[in-house]
Amino acid sequence: MQVDFAHSPRSSVGLEWELALVDADTLELTPAAAPILAALGAGEDTPIRKEYLQDMVEIVSGAHARVGDAVADLAENLARIRTVTDDLGIALMGSGCHPFSRAALQEPFRGPRYDVVKERTQWWGRQMAICGTHIHVGVDHRDKALPITNGLARFYPLFLALSASSPFWEGHDSGYASQRTMLFQQLPTNGLPYRMTQWSEFEAYATELQEVGMISVPGEIRWDVRPSPRFGTVENRTGDSVPTLAELGCLAALTQSLAEFIARDYEGDRVVEDLPPWLVKENKWRAARYGLDAEVITPDRPQRLRSLRDYLSEWLDRLAPVARDLGCEQELLFAHTLATRGASYERQRAAADAHGGDLRAVAALLVAETGAVTPFA
């Protein structure tokens, strides 16, 4: 199979923000997507779109040179959605999982693609009441796509710890910062990318998956970080959905800056220090479990183990000149604020503790934060 890679402006950025729909009174998930989308005239390629479940919507930005413009694009379309949802008594929630609604009770949309997913994945498919933040970065030549994919995957724990927003699952504290991560990896073709360096390897891989019936098109390869040939991008799918615009901007800036950093190294015949796949996998688990408190494995010798917060701070310093060139330094450095004042999973647990374990307080916090400029006063 020949997989063509579309042209995309270098280091351009586009965002996909999945949001849950909840009843404004009960704060339970509610299957309200169809009337909302109909009222907005939404379709397959409009900025506001349906997702797998009827209690979710997705907002998709255009391609932008600057992170701030992509985030403003999402905010504008969120405001459009609220012109409909406010009258229907529906609220929006940006988090990886709902804190207490039962996943298996949520209904997917009907359609050939969704019906196949539902039939094939069975019990695990019924647990996919999860929302993510997906970040596309433009790649100006397909030969850079796989090196950038591999490079971004190595920094998985930074993306995940900053975005982790799903500590609660069906009324219980999962013990994880990101329960969504543990669920999402259960489906076929999901999970960490396989290590490839040549585009011909990716084409051979996609061909084989198609031949054995695992996919029908390359877009069904749902790695956590993947080339997206249709758009000419690398797509970072590691993050939970986050509630605030500052968090969206931070994750986008970190992705954009790292992708540009890796591209410059590739062009200069330099390689960002690598980790073997089994250690990348371990780092993913550590970040999902412990979030910002994780101890991560690095290529640095002799100090292989580093606190995630320290490692994040080091890379923010290294990336600051790149972010300055891209116009996203302010958004990138918000990561320092999250690391010191609390990512979403930490804020949610604090809300639960402050209300005697009542997870309605957590849901109310998420609704209040969703679309806010920042989670901090």
Tell me the domain boundaries of the chain.
Answer: 13-369
The reported pLDDT for the residue numbered 234 is 98
Strands 295-297 and 13-23: unpaired
Residue 341 and residue 338: Cα distance in Å, rounded?
5
The reported pLDDT for the residue numbered 301 is 80
Residue 273: CB atoms within 10 A of its CB come to 10
Enumerate the H helices of 101-226 as residue ranges: 112-125, 145-154, 156-163, 179-184, 199-211
Residue 220 and residue 99: Cα distance in Å, rounded?
28
Joined tokens for residue 118: 């539902």
CA 326 to mean position of chain CA atoms: 21
Crossing angle of the two packed helices 156-163 and 145-154, in degrees rounded to 10: 60
Burial class (CB in 10 A: 0-12, 13-18, 19+), 377: exposed
By residue count, the chain amounts to 377
Residue 195 and residue 223: Cα distance in Å, rounded?
11
Joined tokens for residue 102: 């039962």
Look over the chain and give the mean of its residue pLDDT values, rounded to a whole number. 96
Residue 221 and residue 223: Cα distance in Å, rounded?
6
Q: Determine the Cα angle at 58 with ends 260 and 39, to 5°.
A: 140
The reported pLDDT for the residue numbered 146 is 96
Q: Are 358 and 352 in contact (CB under 8 A)?
A: yes
CA 329 to mean position of chain CA atoms: 20
Nearest of 263, 257, 253 to residue 318 by alpha carbon? 257
The reported pLDDT for the residue numbered 271 is 74
pLDDT in tens, 261-280: 999 999 998 877 789 999 99
For residue 99, whether the previous peptide bond is cis, meaning omega lies within 30 degrees of 0, is no
Burial class (CB in 10 A: 0-12, 13-18, 19+), 87: exposed
Q: Which residues of the chain fall below pLDDT 50?
A: none
Joined tokens for residue 367: 């609704």
Nearest of 18, 50, 47, 16 to residue 31 by alpha carbon? 50
Residue 60 and residue 80: Cα distance in Å, rounded?
13
The reported pLDDT for the residue numbered 115 is 78
Q: Are 92 and 18 in contact (CB under 8 A)?
A: no
The reported pLDDT for the residue numbered 186 is 87
Amino acid identity of residue 340, one-letter, is T
Residue 240 and residue 133: Cα distance in Å, rounded?
6
Q: What is the DSSP letter of 218?
A: G
The reported pLDDT for the residue numbered 303 is 85
Matching CATH number, 13-369, of 3.80.30.20, 3.40.50.620, 2.60.40.1120, 3.30.590.20: 3.30.590.20
The reported pLDDT for the residue numbered 7 is 92
